[in-house]
Amino acid sequence: MGLLGRLFGRIEGRDAGRGVALFVDGPNVLRAEFDVDLADLRAAASDVGELVTARLYLNEHASPGLIQAAEANGFQVVVTSGDVDVKLAVDVATFAAEGRADTIAVASRDTDFKPALEAANERGLRTLAIAPGTYGRSDALPNSADESVTLGE
């Protein structure tokens, strides 16, 4: 791990490389038909360990109210003008490669993150797939993770 990673871990008051890194696919999870509460997403990831980061990925069309609500719930908001899936997957792979967490949690219904979870598994990290509900959920994502949670069950 680089100097910044070690320094960031000390600033946060925790050992770098410990705990859970939560990555949320905002456009895929925060949809009216799921009625997902941001606190429920954090709680699902926190059930397996202390959060070292909680990131919500949104596209450029996200409302200021959503961004404020996410920040108020302890999320680092990542807004991208490109494909949210690509940025999220790259960040998951970076966390896995750098060993910045013991567990990688991805909240999505999308199979696009299956390779990212598999890469984390190959590096010996524990993985968690969080689905916003059963509607439209792909089985490939929870099947590629060590554990899975479906909100509302």
User: Domain with 79 in it: what CATH number?
Assistant: 3.40.50.1010
pLDDT tens readout for residues 7-38: 344 333 334 447 999 999 999 999 888 889 99
Residue 99 lies in a domain: yes
The range of the structural domain enclosing residue 113 comes to 17-151
Residue 55 lies in a domain: yes
> b vs e for 91-111, b when ≥16 Cβ sit within 10 Å of the residue's Cβ?
bbbebbeeebbbbbbbbbbbe
pLDDT tens readout for residues 74-131: 999 999 988 899 999 999 999 988 888 999 999 998 888 999 999 999 999 999 999 9
Q: What is the pLDDT of residue 7?
A: 37
Residue 132 lies in a domain: yes
Residue 80 lies in a domain: yes
Residue 11 lies in a domain: no
Residue 4 lies in a domain: no
The total domain count for the chain is 1
Dihedral of CA atoms 94, 76, 38, 52 in degrees, nearest 10, equals 60
Q: What is the pLDDT of residue 31?
A: 86
Residue 46 lies in a domain: yes
> What is the C-alpha to C-alpha distance for residues 116 and 74, in angstroms, rounded to an integer?
24
Residue 39 lies in a domain: yes
Dihedral of CA atoms 89, 97, 141, 18 in degrees, nearest 10, equals -110
Element (H, E) at 71: helix 64-72
